[in-house]
Structure 1
Amino acid sequence: MSISDLRGDVLRHLKYSIGKDEDHAQIYDWRVALSLAVRDRIVDRWFAATRATYASRAKRVYYLSMEFLIGRLLEDAATNLGLLDEAKAVFDGFGLPFDRVLADEPDAALGNGGLGRLAACFMESLATLGVPAYGYGIRYEHGLFRQRFEGGRQIEEPEDWLTQAHVWEFERPETSFEIGFGGHVHRTGTSRGIWRPAEAVIAQGFDTPVVGWQGRWANTLRLWGAQPTRLLDLERFNAGDYTAAAQPETLARTISRVLYPDDTTEGGKALRLKQEYFFTAASLRDILRRFESEYDDLRKLPQKVAIQLNDTHPAIAGPELVRLLHDERGLPFDEAMETARLCLNYTNHTLLPEALESWSEGLMGYLLPRHLQIIEAIDAAHHKAYPARSVHIREHGQVQMGNLSFIMAKRVNGVSALHTELMKTTVFQDLHALHPERIVNETNGVTPRRWLLGCNPRLGALITEVLGDGWVGDAEELARLAPFTEDASFLERFAAIKRANKEELAGWLKREQGVAVDPSAMFDIQIKRIHEYKRQHLNILEAIALWQDISDNPNGDWTPRVKIFGGKAAPGYWFAKEIVHLINAVAGRINADPATSRFLRVVFAPNYNVSMAERLIPAADLSEQISTAGKEASGTGNMKFAMNGALTIGTLDGANVEIRDHVGAENFFLFGMTAEEVVARREVPGHARQAIEADPRLARALGALRDGTFSPGNPGLFAGIADNVEHHDYFLVASDFTDYWRASREADAICRDGARWTRMAARNTAGSGWFSSDRTIRGYMADIWDVTPAAAPGTLAAE
């Protein structure tokens, strides 16, 4: 691809697609023109991949997820096509700042955290490996929410990413399905039922091509937007009732407006169940439509279709696929159930019982009456096959979607070695005893193209210089860096790259947050969804205790530290929102203290998203992975930090266990109880009070929450957090605090030895290659999906 060819295509799109000339084009226009020029080249691969899939009659993978946190796509796509340097040269020739062009792209508001980013990494790896695949989800107009702070409190506002054209997608009005809700079921005298919904919406497809490394293959992310079955009630409109006339469109579009509507109300619960059925039902119909265009025998479905359910959100896929096969296509019920089960696989992401969704039978029966009947039949069939079972799908008037997902799956996978073993002994203990072959482990991974080469180009260039570029497509080659971690020249360059990344972040924090930080300080970063089990309140309590110690001895030998937080609290999660408020209040007090601010600063950057992560992770010195052991299924942020040369302070939880094994225990700051010790500790009466009494620092920090230190006008403002830690400490913040303090001070001491710290950081990068999502996807291919690539690497790139 020559620079002149790309330049010509950019100018052509600027003129004919956007309708601007060079003299009047704005950064937005240039960004869209470049995106379209890059997209053109993806489309060629996309079409070729589709032709190759049909020609080979290959088995396809279908990944169903409520979230796809894809972030910005322009730089990622240009990188994978090998066009990034050419694009920069084109814009240098135009005299335009290329970094501003890239930064103009909004983050697609299609996810919240690790669940959605994992799905995005998987889609990229599937394309990199040449596996025919579709991702299916919802095209949210407003996503989760845009976060800002007012008086330190989280304020939620609608995301506006679709106010601009999403240039990467293709609208597919011909790919539409009518999705029904409510109504009644007419029984035919057999086990089959005829469902007559009371209301319906249209699911319309929007396709985004996803290209893999070196453009070898491209797959499809198909997102469903909700449309009304009729746009306008013209009779009401002509009668002057304009609001009622628009109601059908308003109600339909509500389904695809917001990710995770607050479900603390009955209306919110109904909307969430509607969303889950909406995208799952549309996806299954699309899958069957594609299958039936090639094959006549429905019994071949498991040979040609592998469906992965990303968490319990698409769990309704089991009864829906049975309904489509049995009610609509006439397969006997038992055969329909087994055919569906052999297609479906379920990824569990949590050991928290409350996160394994359940729906009341009343709501399920009202919105999906036929599905409730089928669930009852599935439950009965499972009981007949296993009469001694003690677990049910329907329990105490609730439909347990975790149990449904497990029973209707060929394979159930955990996402780290520890998590998978805990699944067998906790949430799915009884089902595992009945189906011991069903649970397998597939430890999560992240794509090194975005999370090292893309977000940290300086480090990527250094690695390529010493190893060649093979590591980009095979991240396990990073292990070849091990000898260089003893090379003084390499380590000096590694440290200089980290310093440059920190200087860039410091400049951004000053511009965007108005907070001045010293790049020579340790950058200590915790970025993730705000939740009690992730223990951001443990982190801020340690910051309070450290500030108090520094205040007592401001001339001590302290290691300067900048604590940086990012993450959103669910709108209905009061305690998580109070943690956000506390962090901001502590930041305000500490940052304004002239006696301590040279040693400790606290920053909470609002509206955390993929683009912010790409800025923060390369600049991190210390990665906070401090969840209560046994609660974090895996984590993928921990992998990204390690890959970019940050040291982890963490518990033996989720993938931390495997990260520590791969990077070396000596290069990891371990603290806290194990999962087994956590269970035992909870049984100790007054365990939190004991821990507080044993550690004066913790007692003093909690006292500061009660005495108004961080809320002078309202002394009791944060007493609820202190009371939670002292009296309701399920997540064992108090019991782990002392060891967390010890590990933090150990990190301080080593940080003062810059050469030692850099060596440990480089060993993290060298040991992180196993955590590539390519390795994870190969595991799914072999252990769960039974698929192989449809074309040899490079085949499509040669067309």
Structure 2
Amino acid sequence: MLDRVERESGRAPDQTSLEVWMRTTAHACRAELAQRLNHTMRTDRQRGAKRVHYLSMEFLMGRALTNALAALELDGSFREAAERAGVDPGEVLEREPDAALGNGGLGRLAACFLDSLATLGVPSFGYGLRYAYGMFDQRIRGGQQLEEPCDWLRDGNPWELHRPELRFGVGFGGHVETYTDDEGGERRRWRPAQIVRATAYDFIVPGHGTERVAVLRQWQASPDQPIDFAAFSRGDYQAAGAAKLAAETLNWVLYPDDSTDAGRRLRLRQEFFLVSASLQDLIARHLEDNTGLSSLAERAAIHLNDTHPALAVPELLRLLIDVHHLSWDAALAQCRAALSYTNHTLLPEALETWPVAMLEELLPRHLELIYELNARWLDHVRRHFPGDEELVARTSLVDEGGQRRVRMAPLSIIASKRVNGVSKLHSQLMVETIFADYAKIVPTRFCNVTNGVTPRRWLAQANPALAALLDARLGGAGSGEPDWRTHLDRLAELEPLAEDPEFRRELLAAKLHNKALLAKLIRRNLGLPIDPSSLFDVQIKRIHEYKRQLLNLLHVVARYQAICDEPEKSWVPRTVIFAGKAASAYVTAKQIIRLIHDVARVVNGDPRVHGRLRLVFLPNYGVSLAERLFPAADLSEQISTAGKEASGTGNMKFALNGALTIGTWDGANIEMAEAVGREHFFIFGLDAEGVRATRAAGYAPREHYEQSPTLRRVLDAIAEGVFSPGEPERYRGLVGQLLERDTYLLLADFADYLAAQAKADALFERPDDWARVAALNIAGMGSFSSDRTIRDYVETIWELPGE
């Protein structure tokens, strides 16, 4: 290591910058991982292994160095080398930027899956885009969110392997023509107006306790010709670079703002660019080892992570029919045997649709194939449900109401062999609500695979204090017993230890250590002193109305008002922490962020509160910040409107790190509570059936306002400008929405939420009892490893033989 630092920097190791140390260490790890990659690929090829190809618009990988050092068992050597050179190894690790390849739960789940695929030895590729700026960096100015580009590739990426030999053309626009093939048959052929080149960059994901790896293959766009030389020669430099700009824009930003037509077109182009390059790559690899494509589904499982990659359906059909000359029936059979789809949302507005006119302009051949696929599907529906033309209309791939649009979730469903939800409740509601018609027609196609998280990053690496305690109590890798890092079900052995006073004391000490580290970070970044002994109440999610950060904030205001009323009362000190980004065009979510800051300014500055309540918003939430927050949390806020949260994985990370959950009976909260014991959760509010019944009965939110003096006082304070005295009208519209519509039933759940918070206070006042419940929460998390999730996919959906 020391020699390598000197060779790469041209300076002595003790005179080399921390950035060079970081890059050199990454290069050393990458060299070892490349050898493992070659071995993995060669072994899989020799045994004709079936591979998983996981297509996702997001892979929220975070920093890679700590994970790689741990997987390669080089962390001790790295620390020794750094310390011998007088370098702080922790500061070296902090110099690595987060990889800006994702945003939230969808991308973090995909990253956990790659970790587990490698660890379990499942032959696999992840496919994504190589975003230059990710989603955005969140800055807070005057309490308001501002978006700035996240220039994470400014100094290059030391982890990636450029694969210039892997280049594929991706077309857009143009026209479709009919021609006669060599055998006299009539065929269709797409003549794109524009060709963009996709070049591969590989990021190697190491397995733990194994030599095997997984690959995240990212696509970088470039023009077919770098510049229009004729335009350049005549001095029209803008026209000369137009094709280059159009291509590179595909890799600029994750989820361009789709409130404009230009943003929607770019998002559609991004999604097609991803699936076309990925499918061409996997078909080329298949043909290197096989004589034809009739065996494609036997060797390749192709998984669609949500509807963003749904254009894989018509693109795979096009490649098989137009390029490789399979018949329609043979091509569709391969699609239905190879493709599978995970649904991540029950929100109808979140299910993607694309205007027919836009598809006709950008992907004319694909629209033809969608029409043909739809005709075949509707014939199937009519045969099995004769006379039910309403069912035919509801299940058509084309929504004929208003502007004609193609529905991407149904497209994914009818061309896949399996469709799964991500928690038991979500999968149940999926077939009862948004996909009820399709479940009626093809009921055996739907199944459930509950999400999980990798314990390597989210416990072993993020929480060394707790990991050391588990090693001492459960036995580490050298004990001759299975290691909990790869056999998380061993956490069940902690259940009897919950009754051990010494273990509870050690658990509280580890938690206090993590809270002190977070308090130091908050003080350094925000200048706000935090009491580490206070109850750390944490909600970290993307900001969205259904996730109900606003309900949490209403409780903060109610608590603040109660403290001001009785400042001499013995209040349980509480630090309420928010973090998360709002989509740039989501006005209400950005207004909630501003309200959090306005309330924080008043609460944190009021001498009557005297530190017994702190409100914190940590900006620019990402993986590295999450690694600080999960270990430090005492209370995990999982308070979405019941029936709206598909699963959640943050809830699992919190509980795995010893936080107690306050939440609704929703998503994976249900399975977690069943594993831990419902009595060890702070469950409140309406369940999914209660939500439906409340709405069916004619929900009147103003009644809750009229009947609850506490709620009325909270809402009046916000509406009257108590927290925004310079602009008293600022939040009147926000409060008005709650009183008139309250789409996500905040007011209906408010009283029960406050009662659950009071129970949390009462338990926190008994630290030994709190530690016992925290230990039971950790003990119940064994089945929420992403290793278990991947095993379920392998057995239930991908059907990998002999894995």
TM-score (norm 2): 0.96
**Contact 1:135 / 1:221 at 8 angstroms: preserved in 2?**
yes
- Identity within the alignment, %: 48
Other structure's SS at 1:366 match: helix
In the alignment, the residues of structure 2 paired with residue 58 and residue 209 of structure 1 have an alpha-carbon distance, to the nearest angstrom, of 19
For structure 1, which segment, 653-662 or 32-41, has the greater mean C-alpha deviation from structure 2 after superposition?
32-41
2:665 to 645, 652, 672: 652
Paired position in structure 2 for 1:783 = 796
1:332 to 313, 327, 330: 327
Paired position in structure 1 for 2:216 = 221
1:433 to 440, 445, 448: 440
Q: Which residue type is aligned with residue 650 of structure 1?
A: G
Task: Confirm or deny that 1:459 pairs with 2:466.
Answer: yes
**Contact 1:80 / 1:449 at 8 angstroms: preserved in 2?**
no
Paired position in structure 2 for 1:97 = 88
Matches within 5 A, 1:329-408: 329-387=324-382, 388=385, 389-390=391-392, 391-396=395-400, 397-408=404-415
| 1:788 positional shift | 4.6
**Alignment CA distance shift 1:17-1:550 (3 Å):** same
Other structure's SS at 1:359 match: strand
Other structure's SS at 1:555 match: coil
1:518 to 522, 531, 541: 531
**Contact 1:82 / 1:214 at 8 angstroms: preserved in 2?**
no
Matches within 5 A, 1:62-77: 62-77=53-68
| 1:13 positional shift | 3.0
2:770 to 746, 757, 761: 757
| 1:687 positional shift | 2.1
Other structure's SS at 2:289 match: coil
Cα deviations across residues 519-570 of structure 1 (Å, max 9, x unaligned)? 0100000001110110001111111111011111111121110000000000
Task: Confirm or deny that 1:111 pairs with 2:102.
Answer: yes
| 1:19 positional shift | 4.0
Matches within 5 A, 1:209-248: 209-248=204-243
Paired position in structure 2 for 1:709 = 722
1:598 to 602, 611, 624: 611
**Alignment CA distance shift 1:241-1:13 (3 Å):** farther
| 1:40 positional shift | 1.9
Other structure's SS at 1:471 match: coil
In the alignment, the residues of structure 1 paired with residue 619 and residue 569 of structure 2 have an alpha-carbon distance, to the nearest angstrom, of 32
2:135 to 135, 144, 149: 144
Other structure's SS at 1:214 match: coil
Q: Which residue type is aligned with residue 704 of structure 1?
A: A
**Contact 2:9 / 2:16 at 8 angstroms: preserved in 1?**
no
2:452 to 436, 445, 450: 445
Paired position in structure 2 for 1:619 = 632
In the alignment, the residues of structure 1 paired with residue 50 and residue 266 of structure 2 have an alpha-carbon distance, to the nearest angstrom, of 34
Task: Confirm or deny that 1:541 pairs with 2:539.
Answer: no
For structure 1, which segment, 736-745 or 381-390, has the greater mean C-alpha deviation from structure 2 after superposition?
381-390
**Contact 1:49 / 1:218 at 8 angstroms: preserved in 2?**
yes
**Contact 1:20 / 1:29 at 8 angstroms: preserved in 2?**
no
| 1:44 positional shift | 2.0
| 1:789 positional shift | 6.3
CA RMSD of aligned residues (A): 1.2
**Alignment CA distance shift 1:111-1:24 (3 Å):** same
Other structure's SS at 1:77 match: helix
Cα deviations across residues 395-450 of structure 1 (Å, max 9, x unaligned)? 12110001101111110000000000001101110000111111111000000000
**Contact 2:351 / 2:409 at 8 angstroms: preserved in 1?**
yes
Matches within 5 A, 1:279-294: 279-294=274-289
Q: Unmatched 5+ residue regions in structure 2?
A: 386-390, 477-482
Paired position in structure 2 for 1:270 = 265
**Contact 2:14 / 2:87 at 8 angstroms: preserved in 1?**
no
For structure 1, which segment, 103-112 or 588-597, has the greater mean C-alpha deviation from structure 2 after superposition?
588-597
For structure 1, which segment, 43-52 or 85-94, has the greater mean C-alpha deviation from structure 2 after superposition?
85-94
In the alignment, the residues of structure 1 paired with residue 80 and residue 727 of structure 2 have an alpha-carbon distance, to the nearest angstrom, of 57
Paired position in structure 1 for 2:480 = none
Matches within 5 A, 1:469-480: 469=476, 470-480=483-493
In the alignment, the residues of structure 1 paired with residue 642 and residue 308 of structure 2 have an alpha-carbon distance, to the nearest angstrom, of 25
1:678 to 681, 691, 696: 691
| 1:249 positional shift | 1.1
In the alignment, the residues of structure 2 paired with residue 96 and residue 22 of structure 1 have an alpha-carbon distance, to the nearest angstrom, of 9
In the alignment, the residues of structure 2 paired with residue 585 and residue 162 of structure 1 have an alpha-carbon distance, to the nearest angstrom, of 34
| 1:18 positional shift | 4.2
In the alignment, the residues of structure 2 paired with residue 623 and residue 499 of structure 1 have an alpha-carbon distance, to the nearest angstrom, of 16
In the alignment, the residues of structure 2 paired with residue 228 and residue 513 of structure 1 have an alpha-carbon distance, to the nearest angstrom, of 44
1:249 to 244, 249, 258: 244
Paired position in structure 2 for 1:793 = none
In the alignment, the residues of structure 2 paired with residue 392 and residue 514 of structure 1 have an alpha-carbon distance, to the nearest angstrom, of 56
TM-score (norm 1): 0.96
In the alignment, the residues of structure 2 paired with residue 755 and residue 217 of structure 1 have an alpha-carbon distance, to the nearest angstrom, of 43
Paired position in structure 2 for 1:6 = none
**Alignment CA distance shift 1:363-1:597 (3 Å):** farther
In the alignment, the residues of structure 2 paired with residue 671 and residue 187 of structure 1 have an alpha-carbon distance, to the nearest angstrom, of 62
Q: Which residue type is aligned with residue 701 of structure 2?
A: A
Q: Which residue type is aligned with residue 54 of structure 1?
A: R
For structure 1, which segment, 495-504 or 238-247, has the greater mean C-alpha deviation from structure 2 after superposition?
238-247
In the alignment, the residues of structure 2 paired with residue 20 and residue 787 of structure 1 have an alpha-carbon distance, to the nearest angstrom, of 50
Q: Which residue type is aligned with residue 729 of structure 1?
A: D
Paired position in structure 1 for 2:203 = 208
Q: Which residue type is aligned with residue 544 of structure 2?
A: H
**Alignment CA distance shift 1:23-1:91 (3 Å):** closer
**Alignment CA distance shift 1:485-1:23 (3 Å):** closer
1:726 to 739, 742, 745: 739
Cα deviations across residues 355-391 of structure 1 (Å, max 9, x unaligned)? 1100010111111111111001111111122213431
1:261 to 231, 256, 259: 256
| 1:242 positional shift | 2.4
Cα deviations across residues 695-735 of structure 1 (Å, max 9, x unaligned)? 21111111111111111111010112111111121110110
Cα deviations across residues 261-291 of structure 1 (Å, max 9, x unaligned)? 0001111110000000001100000010000
Cα deviations across residues 172-219 of structure 1 (Å, max 9, x unaligned)? 111111111111111237774211111121111000111111243112
Cα deviations across residues 570-621 of structure 1 (Å, max 9, x unaligned)? 0011111111111111111111111114211100000000000000100000
**Contact 1:170 / 1:207 at 8 angstroms: preserved in 2?**
yes
Cα deviations across residues 281-314 of structure 1 (Å, max 9, x unaligned)? 0000001000000111311111100011000000
2:78 to 77, 83, 87: 87
| 1:240 positional shift | 2.7
**Contact 1:521 / 1:560 at 8 angstroms: preserved in 2?**
yes
**Contact 2:498 / 2:772 at 8 angstroms: preserved in 1?**
yes
In the alignment, the residues of structure 1 paired with residue 222 and residue 7 of structure 2 have an alpha-carbon distance, to the nearest angstrom, of 30
Q: Which residue type is aligned with residue 333 of structure 1?
A: W
Question: Across the two proteins, how many residue pairs are aligned to each other?
Answer: 781
**Contact 1:62 / 1:135 at 8 angstroms: preserved in 2?**
yes
Paired position in structure 1 for 2:388 = none
Q: Unmatched 5+ residue regions in structure 1?
A: 1-9, 791-799
1:424 to 431, 436, 450: 431
**Contact 2:413 / 2:419 at 8 angstroms: preserved in 1?**
yes
Other structure's SS at 1:518 match: coil
1:160 to 151, 175, 195: 151
Q: Which residue type is aligned with residue 21 of structure 1?
A: A
| 1:164 positional shift | 1.5
Q: Which residue type is aligned with residue 392 of structure 1?
A: S
Q: Which residue type is aligned with residue 417 of structure 2?
A: K
Q: Which residue type is aligned with residue 686 of structure 2?
A: M
In the alignment, the residues of structure 1 paired with residue 223 and residue 50 of structure 2 have an alpha-carbon distance, to the nearest angstrom, of 34
**Contact 1:705 / 1:716 at 8 angstroms: preserved in 2?**
no
